[in-house]
């Protein structure tokens, strides 16, 4: 088996930490498509079928060490303890509104009263 490049190892470590290609790209200062390309090359090198398989094989072959896994777990635990973050410039209620829509708790529907009749007297 050929060796992974330093960048492929870096991308796999962030993948193991649960980052998406977009998040990984932001952290590394590269485009998400470049992250996907690095992952694809790592898949070929490792003989992996998907992200989870690539991470498992990278651990198995020593490309991700136990010390790195411990650091990943510690960082992940710290991130989870911080809780979700709202973007500073997000519209008010943006995240809550999307959660409500996803959970089926959308905003109350306006009254369907026929034109000319007051609300609450709809047939």
Whether the per-residue pLDDT at 104 is higher than 80: the answer is no
Structural domain includes residue 78: yes
Biggest distance spanned by C-alpha atoms of the chain: 77
Sorted by sequence, the CB contacts under 8 Å of residue 5 that are 6+ apart come out as: 38, 41
Q: What gap in Å lies between CA 55 and CA 82, rounded to an integer?
A: 25
User: 64-88 pLDDT, tens per residue?
Assistant: 998 998 998 888 888 778 877 655 4
Which alpha helices (DSSP H) does 47-114 contain, by range? 51-60, 66-82, 94-102
Structural domain includes residue 103: no
Structural domain includes residue 14: yes
Whether the per-residue pLDDT at 107 is higher than 70: the answer is no
Sign of CA dihedral 87, 88, 93, 96: positive
Q: Which residue range(s) make up the domain with 78?
A: 6-82
User: 90-100 pLDDT, tens per residue?
Assistant: 444 444 444 44
According to the model, what pLDDT value does residue 77 have? 85
CATH number of residue 72's parent domain: 1.10.10.10
Structural domain includes residue 18: yes
What is the number of domains present in the chain? 1
Structural domain includes residue 71: yes
Structural domain includes residue 33: yes
- Helix 32-46 to helix 21-28 angle (10° resolution) is 110
- The mean pLDDT value of the chain amounts to 79
3-state secondary structure of 64: coil
Q: Which helix H or strand E contains 100, and what residues bound it?
A: helix 94-102
Structural domain includes residue 57: yes
According to the model, what pLDDT value does residue 83 have? 75
Structural domain includes residue 73: yes
Q: What gap in Å lies between CA 99 and CA 2, rounded to an integer?
A: 45
How many residues appear in the chain?
123
According to the model, what pLDDT value does residue 120 have? 53
Global pTM value: 0.63
């Amino acid at each position: 088996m050929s060796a992974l490049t330093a960048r492929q190892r870096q991308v796999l470590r962030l993948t193991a930490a649960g980052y998406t290609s977009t998040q990984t790209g932001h952290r590394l200062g590269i485009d998400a498509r470049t992250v996907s390309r690095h992952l694809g090359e790592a898949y070929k090198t490792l003989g992996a079928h998907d992200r989870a398989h690539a991470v498992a094989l990278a651990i198995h072959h020593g490309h991700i060490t136990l010390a790195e896994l411990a650091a990943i777990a510690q960082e992940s635990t710290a991130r989870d303890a911080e809780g979700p973050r709202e973007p500073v410039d997000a519209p008010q209620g943006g995240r809550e509104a999307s959660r409500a829509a996803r959970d089926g708790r959308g905003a109350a529907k306006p009254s369907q009263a026929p034109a000319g009749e007051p609300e609450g007297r709809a047939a």
